[in-house]
Structure 1
Amino acid sequence: MSVRVRRVYEPPEPDDGVRVLVDRLWPRGLAKDMARVDEWPKGLTPSTELRRWYHLDERPYEELRGRYEAELAAPEAAELLNHVRELAAKGQVTLLTAAREPATSHAEVLARLLDD
């Protein structure tokens, strides 16, 4: 299984495989044709409440991880997570996020869950 995280603002690379946007909101200032997004499973993204909570006063990443994993246990999110896991079993999957620090974002939580 091969999953990686990249910023959606970076130019697409030939080895990206299936490009999956994992943000609930479309990235500011980015034209859809330039992003080359293959899938955008909004039910897999953090809830609006969680997203706002995390960006308020720079909350701890570990707490984000726990809260987001709890959201991913919901039936719709779990089904979408399995779908992306199946894509990764077939080849490269690149999770795309607009987060400034992808290593401490929800996209990294997803990547870890997919690699398990």
Structure 2
Amino acid sequence: MKTIKIKRIYEEPSGEDGYRILIDRVWPRGVSKEDAKLDDWKKEIAPSEKLRKWFNHDHDKFARFSQKYRKELEDKTKDLDAIRVKAKQMRVTLLYGAKDTEHNQAVVLQEILMK
């Protein structure tokens, strides 16, 4: 498998990114679709609105958020497998909008996809 990396969507796109997938349910503020240079937008694997609002980027809730998010992803195997297939062909970058680079859904999703 090639690399699956994570990156804030607010960072400049790079040739090193490979296939760029936005994994947020809502479009990030201040980023145009043209500037985002996306290859795909996978809203369906983003945390549910209810989970996202409960978590509210509170790092003290991250462990519980991670458990709940993993549970939500259990019925998304088709979507996850499609990303894994893509990652066998080329580098994949999961893009997210959160300011916290250590406590967000991309960290959890990257770990799941790399297994």
TM-score by length of 2: 0.94
Instruction: Work out whether residues 22 and 40 of structure 1, in 8 Å CA contact, stay in contact via their aligned partners in 2.
Output: yes
User: Aligned with 2:94: secondary structure?
Assistant: strand
**What stretches of structure 1 of length at least 5 have no aligned partner?**
none
Backbone CA RMSD of aligned residues: 1.3
1:6-55 CA deviation, whole Å, 9 max, x = no partner?
00010101110000000000000111000001101111111000100000
**What stretches of structure 2 of length at least 5 have no aligned partner?**
none
Question: Aligned partners of 2:8 and 2:88: how far apart in 1?
Answer: 22
Question: Aligned partners of 1:57 and 1:100: how far apart in 2?
Answer: 11
The equivalent of 2:14 in structure 1 is 13
Q: CA deviation at 1:115?
A: 0.9
- Percent of aligned pairs sharing the same letter: 36
TM-score by length of 1: 0.93
Question: Aligned partners of 2:47 and 2:4: how far apart in 1?
Answer: 19
How many residues are matched?
114
Given residue 85 of structure 2, which amino acid in structure 1 is its aligned partner?
A: E
Q: Which runs of 4+ in 1 moved over 4 A?
A: 56-59
